[in-house]
């Protein structure tokens, strides 16, 4: 009996340690963002302090406000999501539902594009965008974000489209609906959940992207992940402000992640399960 | 709606029907093409075209800092690359970084999944907390670790190290510790991914086979080795493949923490290609490095997919 | 209504690559008829229904509806309603919206849709469920909703693809009877696919029996039951199925296990045959085939006996009043008109 108790205590201890390990860096950032400039520098680190929103006020409305960067991130993410979904929904429907030669290849192509290292995309893209003056523009960044968001969205949506029985469409044809009408009235409403999940993940990936953003951003378009660097320099780090910016950058994705909790495994493993076109 | 092309065929029912089948197939193909066109044009423009242009670029000397030296050089960049010590060291760093992070993620993730699977209460907490790291931007994660966790004296890790009697360490300034740090950060962020996938996979295993094994008098260890592990194999292999691909092209989580330093201690091949192109502005040579990375990626994924098919 | 819903199939062939799902199928359905397509799974009955609906294009042959060639007509232009095996209800719409959908597609004015939906729902007794979603309905209610959606449009043809197979046994019997009444009252032509011969027998005015991509027999259920024209049909129709016993035939008589039975056949000469005997047409007699009772399956009002007749096993059905005991030896016989003869080589009826 005592061996058993020892075991369950050990299990509890280990699991708590891991929960803490995962949660702590995030909690610590939140705590630091609520400290005053002097509290944050205290040694040993303070766990108990009187919280203040000074840091947030500073980074949002002070000089060098990151508000434009948050807006930048938002425009990029929303724009990427809209364009991606408009293209991915019809493509996914075709891949999941229609019969045509080369379908297997088309599905494979979508997956294979993911093999290309992002750095291999950004080098030529940078040259092209520089020539046409699209560096530091929204259209430039959104366009290149399609390189990763489209394959992802297509494959995730295909898995939802495939869940709808064929008979549903056939019933609609017999009821006199055309192909497009069937897609619009019968199929899309049934994949609403899948579309929502896809939107969440596309937004999340766009919000989190860094490499393309670092290369293509400038004074006009600079998402928050890049702008964060302003608060860290060789000479000094603006600790509380950095913490506040980090929390602001984390907030939307954490909220979305928790909302989409049940679908997260599917969203993270999409495409890998099939490893190529089916049928 | 009666297809007139078919009526025109009318040489006999058999020929007509075949034509009709073709017409149906053609109509379906056209519909498919119309639906696929936007996405595939975008993919061509944002992936395939860049790939071609990348390979083309790698055959040039293209130095943005010294434009007067630019010109076609054929395979010269690749010749230089093969005798470039920094290339080989970055490749080694890539392999160490990828190998260790993937191994750690799978081992810790699996152990934790097994642990949590047996828990009667509190599973929900794990599922919730595990989401947090994986939805964050690697750039933000890197930034938090670099500052609040690893900064000398100020960071919590260093604080713990001091209190443990190990003294303050220069976590990101020492080549070995810097490598350990970036590996730890990547592992911290992505172990929950392995954990969640393996936990889901574990939960989907039928309970009755364990009951049967128990009746067959298999010990807990035997049940793990002979039942759990083989059944989890597809999920494990999938995690390994996915995480390997990501680790090979990790960028933000290293760039924001050490930027590849100190020196080139944490410079994986991906980062080297970036630095060469956008810091040193040797775009032609950077392109050759990116092509090399692509080849490495293809070789490694080829090996992994072969492993997946084996048995 | 009469004159609407006449169907002709002419030499329909359907290839799936090398595999022939249908190898030249022809039949006619009269207006207002309840016509069953019966056969084991993979026999081509569903493919036939799909060709009729326009969901699959045949490889060769012609389909006519009301004397018009519809072989190349789109499914949605054929004016056909169908009940799917899985019901294929639209899960995001309420029952009322589901039923209204075909009318909406037909661009019926809104003012007419409401009453039509009410009317259809009333006919299948689901007026009280109109605001529910399909997910909130029981299996039987879903089935009724699918029926209502099919009848609301008053299409000229009413196709049913194993509509009862997802219902439990009791509900299936109730619904079967209602289905027949519904079809009668609507006067619409119905084509009904099933693998359940009992369903086909009870529902259909006429039926086509499919075997391996071909129609083996078309006729009224009584006809097919009374005169199966091949060994395969004989073995498929009837429960328990017909006993099929190899025997020797000589001038009107057959010799089974050493016993001579009279038949109505008028073929001269001697030959080997397969004798078909319905379990229900056998009866116990003073003189006949000697058989030992191996096993008795008591069904309450009747019993099925497994008999061993000198090495040949025979099943017979008896009423509850004259059930022997297991191990008894009895004599069984059949009337000459109840003895079916088949050619062992061609498998056709003699």
Q: Do C81 and A174 touch (CB under 8 A)?
A: yes
Of C10, C58, C72, the CB nearest to B2: C72
Strand partners, C313: C308
Domain contains B36: yes
Question: Tell me, what's the pLDDT at A277?
Answer: 29
What CATH number does residue A181 fall under? 1.10.3720.10
Asked if B123 is an interface residue toward chain A (Cβ–Cβ < 8 A), one would say: no
Q: Does this complex have an ipTM over 0.85? A: yes
Asked whether residue B57 is assigned to any structural domain, the reply reads no
Structure tokens at B232: 């989890």
Q: Is the pLDDT of residue A210 over 90?
A: yes
Q: Are domains C7-231 and C243-342 of this chain identical in fold? A: no
Q: Are residues B25 and B158 in the same domain?
A: no
Domain identity same for B39 and B112: no
Instruction: At B266, give phi and psi (nearest 5°).
Output: -120, 25
Tokens of B43: 């993919």
Percentages helix, strand, coil for chain B (3-state, rounded to 5) are 75, 0, 20
Does C165 touch chain B if contact means CB atoms closer than 8 Å?
no
Per-residue pLDDT of chain C (350 residues; tens, 9 = 90+): 445 889 999 999 998 888 889 999 999 999 999 999 999 988 999 999 999 998 888 888 999 999 999 988 888 888 899 999 999 999 999 999 999 999 999 899 999 999 999 999 999 999 999 999 999 999 999 999 999 999 998 888 999 999 998 888 889 998 998 999 999 998 899 999 999 989 999 999 999 999 999 999 999 999 999 999 999 999 898 888 899 999 888 888 888 877 888 888 878 888 899 999 999 898 888 888 888 999 988 888 888 999 988 888 899 998 877 778 888 888 888 898 889 999 999 988 98
Please indicate, yes or no, if residue A265 is contained in any of the structural domains.
Answer: yes
C131: how many CB neighbours lie within 10 A of its CB?
Answer: 10
Rounded distance between C-alpha atoms, residue C242 and residue C341, angstroms: 12
Least confident residue range of A201-210, A270-279, C171-180: A270-279
State residue A239's pLDDT score. Answer: 84
**Shared domain check, B143 and B237:** yes
Q: Distance (Å, rounded) from C-alpha C30 to C-alpha C189?
A: 8
Which residues of chain C neighbour B27 with C-beta distances below 8 Å? none
Q: With b meaning 16 or more CB within 10 Å and e meaning fewer, what string describes A188-220? A: eebbeebbebbbbbbbbbbbbbbbbbbbbbeee
The topology (CATH level 3) of C243-342 is OB fold (Dihydrolipoamide Acetyltransferase, E2P) (2.40.50)
Structural domain containing residue A209: 65-269
B53 inside domain: no
| C-contacting residues in B 6-65 (Cβ below 8 Å) | 6-7, 13-14, 16-18, 20-21, 24
Number of H helices, E strands in chain B: 15, 2
Backbone angles phi and psi of C245, in degrees to 5: -125, 125
| C-beta separation of A76 from A206 below 8 A | yes
Q: How many CB atoms lie within 10 A of CB B158?
A: 20
- Among all chains, which residue has been given the structure tokens 């928790």? A258
Does A25 fall in a domain?
A: no
Is residue A255 assigned to a domain? Answer: yes
Say if residue B180 is in the same domain as residue B246. yes
Q: Which residue of A has its CA nearest to C159?
A: A174
CB pairs under 8 A between A and C: 59
CA distance B235 to B203: 12
Task: Report pLDDT for B152.
Answer: 81
Q: Which CATH number goes with the domain that contains B166?
A: 1.10.3720.10
Domain assignment of residue A60, yes or no: no
Residue A48 falls inside a structural domain: no
Provide the number of structural domains found in chain B: 2
Residue B58 lies inside a defined structural domain of this protein = no
What was the pLDDT predicted at B20? Answer: 64
Neighbour subunits, B (≥3 Cβ pairs < 8 A): A, C
pLDDT tens, position by position, A1-40:
577 788 888 888 888 888 899 999 999 999 999 988 778 8
pLDDT at residue A275, rounded to an integer: 37
Q: Are B28 and A98 in contact (CB under 8 A)?
A: yes
Residue C297 β-bridge partners: C304
**Chain-centre distance for alpha carbon A100:** 32
Query: Three-state SS for C21?
Result: strand
Same domain? B13 vs B96? no
pLDDT tens per residue across span B10-51: 333 444 445 566 777 788 888 899 999 999 999 999 999 999
Total structural domains within chain A: 1
Of A159, A79, A148, nearest in space to A111 by CA: A148
Q: Is residue B282 part of a domain?
A: yes
Domain assignments of chain C as residue spans, ordered by start: 7-231, 243-342
Tell me: pLDDT of B9 over 50: no
Classify domain C7-231 at the CATH superfamily level: P-loop containing nucleotide triphosphate hydrolases (3.40.50.300)
Q: Which of A168, A170, A175 sits opposite C55 (nearest CB)?
A: A170
**Type and span of the H or E element at B175:** helix B175-203
B26/B94 same-domain check: no
Query: CB of C168 within 8 Å of any CB in chain B?
Result: no
How far apart CA C61 and CA C10 sit, in angstroms, is: 6
- Residue B84 is part of which domain span? 79-309
Task: Kindly tell me if the per-residue pLDDT of B297 is higher than 50.
Answer: yes
Shared domain for B164 and B39, answered yes or no, is: no
Please tell me the predicted confidence (pLDDT) of residue C142: 94
If asked whether residues B162 and B38 sit together in one domain, one would say no
Task: Specify if A163 maps to a domain.
Answer: yes
Cβ atoms of B190 and B106 within 8 Å: the answer is no
Burial of A5 from C-beta contacts in 10 A (0-12 / 13-18 / 19+): exposed
Q: What is the dihedral of CA C94, C98, C101, C103, to 10 degrees?
A: -110
Q: Report the range of poorest mean pLDDT among A36-45, A208-217, B88-97, C178-187.
A: A36-45
**Per-residue pLDDT tens digits for B256-283:** 999 887 989 999 999 999 999 999 999 9
């Amino acid at each position: 009996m005592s061996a058993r108790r020892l075991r369950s205590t050990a299990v509890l201890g280990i699991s708590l340690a891991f929960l803490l390990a995962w949660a702590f860096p995030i909690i610590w950032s939140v705590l630091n963002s609520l400290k005053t400039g002097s509290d944050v520098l205290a040694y040993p680190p303070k766990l108990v302090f009187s919280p203040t929103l000074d840091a947030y006020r500073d980074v949002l409305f002070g000089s060098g406000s990151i508000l434009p960067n948050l807006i930048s991130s938002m425009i990029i993410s929303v724009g990427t999501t809209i364009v991606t979904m408009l293209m991915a929904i019809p493509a996914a429907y075709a891949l999941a539902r229609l019969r045509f030669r080369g379908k297997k290849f088309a599905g494979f192509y979508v997956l294979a594009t993911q093999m290309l290292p992002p750095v291999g995309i950004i080098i030529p893209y940078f040259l092209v965008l520089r020539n046409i003056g699209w560096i530091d523009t929204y259209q430039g960044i959104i366009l290149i974000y399609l390189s990763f968001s489209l394959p992802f969205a297509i494959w995730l949506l295909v898995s939802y489209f495939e869940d709808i029985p064929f008979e549903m469409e056939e019933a609609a044809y017999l009821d006199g609906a055309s192909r497009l009408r069937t897609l619009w009235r019968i199929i899309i409403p049934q994949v609403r959940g899948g579309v929502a999940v896809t939107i969440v993940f596309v937004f999340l990936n766009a919000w989190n992207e860094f490499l393309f953003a670092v290369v293509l951003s400038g004074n006009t378009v600079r998402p928050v992940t890049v702008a964060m660097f302003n608060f860290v320099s060789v000479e000094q780090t603006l600790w509380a402000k950095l913490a506040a910016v980090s929390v602001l950058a984390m907030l939307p994705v954490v909220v979305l992640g928790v909302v989409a909790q049940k679908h997260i495994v599917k969203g993270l493993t999409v495409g890998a399960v099939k490893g190529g076109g089916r049928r | 709606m009666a297809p007139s092309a078919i009526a025109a065929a009318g040489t006999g029912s058999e020929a007509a029907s075949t034509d009709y089948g073709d017409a149906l197939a053609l109509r379906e193909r056209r519909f498919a093409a119309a639906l696929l066109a936007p996405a595939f044009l975008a993919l061509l423009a944002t992936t395939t075209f860049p790939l071609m242009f990348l390979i083309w670029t790698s055959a040039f000397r293209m130095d943005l800092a010294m434009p007067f030296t630019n010109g076609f050089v054929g395979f010269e960049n690749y010749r230089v690359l093969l005798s470039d010590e920094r290339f080989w060291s970055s490749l080694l760093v890539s392999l160490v970084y990828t190998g260790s992070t993937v191994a750690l993620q799978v081992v810790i993730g699996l152990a934790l999944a097994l642990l949590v699977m047996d828990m009667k209460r509190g599973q929900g907490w794990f599922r919730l907390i595990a989401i947090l790291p994986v939805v964050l931007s690697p750039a933000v994660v890197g930034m938090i670790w670099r500052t609040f966790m690893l900064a000398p004296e100020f960071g919590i890790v260093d604080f713990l190290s001091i209190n443990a009697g190990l003294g303050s360490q220069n976590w990101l300034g020492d080549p070995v510790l810097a490598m350990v740090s970036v590996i730890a950060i990547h592992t911290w962020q992505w172990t929950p991914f392995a954990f969640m996938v393996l936990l889901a996979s574990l939960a989907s295993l039928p309970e009755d086979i364990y009951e049967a094994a128990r009746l067959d008098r298999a010990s807990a260890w035997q049940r793990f080795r002979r039942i759990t592990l083989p059944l989890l194999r597809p999920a494990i292999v999938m995690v390994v493949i996915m995480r390997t691909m990501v680790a090979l092209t990790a960028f933000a989580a290293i760039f924001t923490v050490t930027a590849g330093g100190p020196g080139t201690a944490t410079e994986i091949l991906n980062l080297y290609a970036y630095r060469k192109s956008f810091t040193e502005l040797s775009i032609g040579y950077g392109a050759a490095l990116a092509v090399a990375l692509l080849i490495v990626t293809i070789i490694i994924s080829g090996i992994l997919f072969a492993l997946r098919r084996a048995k | 209504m009469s004159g609407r819903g006449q169907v002709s199939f002419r030499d329909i062939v359907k290839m799936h690559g090398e595999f022939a799902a249908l190898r030249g199928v022809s039949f006619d359905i009269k207006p207002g008829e309840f016509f069953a397509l019966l056969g084991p799974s993979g026999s081509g009955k569903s493919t036939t229904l799909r060709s009729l609906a326009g969901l699959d294009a045949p490889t060769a042959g012609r389909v006519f509806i009301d004397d018009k060639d519809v072989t190349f007509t789109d499914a949605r232009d054929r004016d056909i309603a169908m009940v799917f095996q899985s019901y294929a209800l639209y899960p995001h719409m309420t029952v009322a919206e589901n039923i209204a959908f075909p009318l909406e597609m037909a661009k019926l004015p809104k003012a007419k849709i409401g009453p039509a939906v009410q009317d259809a729902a009333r006919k299948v007794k689901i007026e009280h469920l109109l605001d529910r979603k399909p997910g909130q309905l029981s299996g039987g209610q879903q089935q009724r909703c699918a029926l209502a959606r099919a009848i609301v449009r008053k299409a000229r043809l009413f196709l049913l693809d194993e509509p009862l197979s997802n219902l439990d046994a009791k509900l299936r019997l109730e619904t079967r009877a209602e289905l027949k009444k519904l079809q009668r009252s609507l006067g619409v032509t119905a084509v009904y696919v099933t693998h359940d011969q009992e369903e086909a027998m009870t529902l259909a005015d006429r039926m086509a029996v499919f075997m391996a991509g071909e129609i083996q027999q078309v006729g009224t259920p009584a006809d097919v039951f009374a005169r199966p024209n091949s060994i395969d049909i004989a073995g498929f129709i009837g429960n328990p199925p017909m006993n099929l016993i190899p025997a020797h035939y000589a001038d009107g008589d057959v010799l089974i296990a050493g016993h001579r039975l009279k038949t109505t056949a008028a073929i001269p000469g001697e030959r080997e045959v397969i004798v078909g005997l319905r379990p229900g047409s056998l009866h116990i007699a003073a003189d006949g085939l000697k058989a030992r009772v191996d096993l008795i399956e008591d069904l309450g009002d009747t019993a099925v006996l497994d008999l061993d007749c000198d090495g040949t096993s025979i099943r017979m059905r008896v009423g509850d009043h004259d059930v022997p005991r297991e191990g008894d030896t009895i004599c069984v016989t059949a009337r000459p008109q109840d003895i079916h003869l088949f050619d062992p080589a061609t498998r056709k009826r003699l």
